[in-house]
Amino acid sequence: MAQIAVAGLYTLETNLRIEGFPLPYYPVTYPFHGITQAHAGVGLNVAVALAGLGHSVRFATLIGQDEPGEHLLAALPRFGLDSGFVARTASATSQSVILVAPDGNRQIHCDLKDLQESTYPQLQIEPLLSGASIAVVCNINFARPLLAAAQARGIPIATDVHALGDFDDAYNRDFMAASEVLFLSHERLPCAPQQALEALRARFDPRIIVIGLGADGALLSERGKPAQHVGTVAPRGVANTIGAGDALFSAFVDQLCAGLPPAAALQRACLFAGWKVGESGATLGLLTATQFAQECSRHQL
């Protein structure tokens, strides 16, 4: 298994079940068993998935020296992660509130505190990247210095810019330009996914681009090859799609590290994500390496 550096958000998440959108005003409600807390954030989701698949993961993130930070730090061992690269230099720990309707629609309120004005400690970057096979750098500001550091060391970078509405977006440009493996969602694209691939190839031309298409699967583009569509597989049905994109991204990185060609890696990643959505929770429903191999064999992948 590979040595993987993951840099990204770790946040304390509160989920609130509501009756539906639009949400009418009322002074108080009593949603019995409708409020839950979870450990979340793209960085954590990816780190947990890759650790569960057997990789040696170094998880770099920023949290505060506050009670939520203590809560997050204490949870890392049960995720198979250690706290060696968690920097407690933020003014406060990031928190989010998610309103979830019965039809599955959700509204996310994410309070990043001062993370967008912070940077990951320079002294931690060398040990974080030392010996890494790949650097998964999430598109949050504090992780931005890792792009140049990984490139200088010849370490390939994988990133997910999620819902991209502008191919010349100033915030995400550095991440897209530095990546060898670029993931994004179809949800806010200003054009059809195939046209988006062409636009991204014209601007950045990474080795691999994957556009997640939700229930329609994913679209793969390898440099110099025609695009390929891969469909979804959901063996357990769909309970909740939260974390599905992170699961797809993580499993694709896992399979690339295992030496699979990108098309085969994406087919397996779609199965991994499809299994994950059978359970509700961003870090729940993730297959272990052994379970993943068994499911791939069962589906002849």
Q: State the alpha helices, DSSP H only, in the chain.
A: 42-52, 67-75, 122-129, 145-152, 170-178, 193-203, 244-257, 262-276, 289-298
Domain of residue 94, CATH code:
3.40.1190.20
Domain-embedded: residue 81: yes
pLDDT of residue 27: 96
Q: Using CB atoms within 10 Å of the CB of residue 256, give its burial: 0 to 12 exposed, 13 to 18 middle, 19+ buried.
A: buried
Structurally, the chain folds into a number of domains equal to: 1
Domain membership of residue 53 (yes or no) is: yes
> Chain centroid to CA 191: how far?
23
Q: Please state whether the peptide bond connecting residue 22 to the residue before it is cis, i.e. omega within 30 degrees of 0.
A: yes
Residue 182 domain flag = no
Distances in Å between the alpha carbon of 133 and those of 148, 166, 288? 16, 30, 20
Note whether residue 189 is domain-resident: no
pLDDT at 147: 98
Closest residue by Cα to residue 137 from 124, 126, 127, 151: 151
Specify if 205 maps to a domain.
no
- 32 is a domain residue: yes
Q: Would the pTM of this model clear 0.85, i.e. be above it?
A: yes
Residue 37 lies in a domain: yes
DSSP per-residue string spanning 35-52: EEEEEE-HHHHHHHHHHH
Distance CA 22, CA 20 (A): 6
- 247 vs 284, more confident: 247
**Among 95-99, 177-181, 194-198, which is the least confidently predicted range?**
95-99
Please check whether residue 121 is in contact with residue 7, taking contact to mean a CB–CB distance below 8 angstroms.
no
Task: Domain of residue 35: give its range.
Answer: 1-145
- Is residue 150 assigned to a domain? no
Q: What is the pLDDT of residues 79-128, one digit of tens each?
A: 999 999 999 999 999 999 989 888 777 788 999 999 999 999 999 999 99
**Other Cβ atoms closer than 10 A to 1:** 15
